[in-house]
Chain A
Amino acid sequence: MTPALAFDLLLIAALLWSAARALITADVFRAVVLFIVFGLLMALAWARLGAPDIALAEAAIGAGLTGALLLDAVGHLRAKWRGPER
Chain B
Amino acid sequence: MKAWLTALIALLCSGLALALGAAMLALPEFAVRLPGQVAANLDASGVAHPVTAVLLNFRGYDTLLEVAVLLLALLGVFALSRHASDHAHPAAPAHPVLQTLARLLAPLMVLVAGYLLWIGAYAPGGAFQAGAVLAAAGVLLRLAGLLPAWAQPGRLLRGGLALGLLVFLAVAVAGLPQGELLHYPPALASPLILLVEAGLTLSIGLTLAGLYLASAGWRQ
Interface residues of chain A, those whose CB is within 8 Å of chain B, are: 52-53, 55-57, 60-61, 64-65, 68-69, 72, 76, 79
A79 contact set on B, CB distance < 8 A: 219
B133 contact set on A, CB distance < 8 A: 60
B139 contact set on A, CB distance < 8 A: 64-65, 68
Among candidates B126, B136, B216, residue contacting A65 with C-beta atoms closer than 8 Å:
B136
**6 tightest Cβ-Cβ pairs between the two chains A and B:** A60-B132, A52-B124, A56-B129, A53-B124, A53-B51, A68-B139
**How long is the Cα–Cα vector from A76 to B208 in the complex, in angstroms?**
19
Asked if A65 and B124 sit within 8 Å, CB to CB, the answer is no
**How long is the Cα–Cα vector from A64 to B126 in the complex, in angstroms?**
17
B interface, by DSSP: helix, strand, loop or mixed? Answer: helix
A52 contact set on B, CB distance < 8 A: 124
Q: Chain B, 119-140, contact with A by CB distance < 8 Å: what is the 0/1 string?
A: 0000011101100110110010
**How long is the Cα–Cα vector from A78 to B132 in the complex, in angstroms?**
27
Asked if A65 and B219 sit within 8 Å, CB to CB, the answer is no
A68 contact set on B, CB distance < 8 A: 139, 143, 212
**How long is the Cα–Cα vector from A61 to B211 in the complex, in angstroms?**
12
Minimum Cβ distance to chain B for residue A18 (Å): 18
Beta-carbon nearest neighbor of B220 in chain A: A79
B125 contact set on A, CB distance < 8 A: 53, 56
Minimum Cβ distance to chain B for residue A52 (Å): 4
Given known contacts A56-B125, A57-B128, A60-B129, is B211 in contact with A65 (CB within 8 Å)? yes
A60 contact set on B, CB distance < 8 A: 129, 132-133, 135-136
Asked if A69 and B124 sit within 8 Å, CB to CB, the answer is no
A76 contact set on B, CB distance < 8 A: 218-219
Asked if A72 and B132 sit within 8 Å, CB to CB, the answer is no
Having A69-B215, A72-B215, one finds 15 other A-B pairs with CB under 8 Å, namely: A52-B124, A53-B126, A53-B129, A56-B116, A56-B124, A56-B129, A56-B132, A60-B133, A61-B128, A61-B208, A64-B139, A65-B136, A65-B211, A65-B212, A72-B212
Minimum Cβ distance to chain A for residue B102 (Å): 13
**How long is the Cα–Cα vector from A57 to B208 in the complex, in angstroms?**
12
**How long is the Cα–Cα vector from A79 to B92 in the complex, in angstroms?**
15
**How long is the Cα–Cα vector from A62 to B165 in the complex, in angstroms?**
23
Among candidates A53, A55, A57, A64, residue contacting B136 with C-beta atoms closer than 8 Å:
A64
Among candidates B128, B132, B211, B215, residue contacting A64 with C-beta atoms closer than 8 Å:
B132
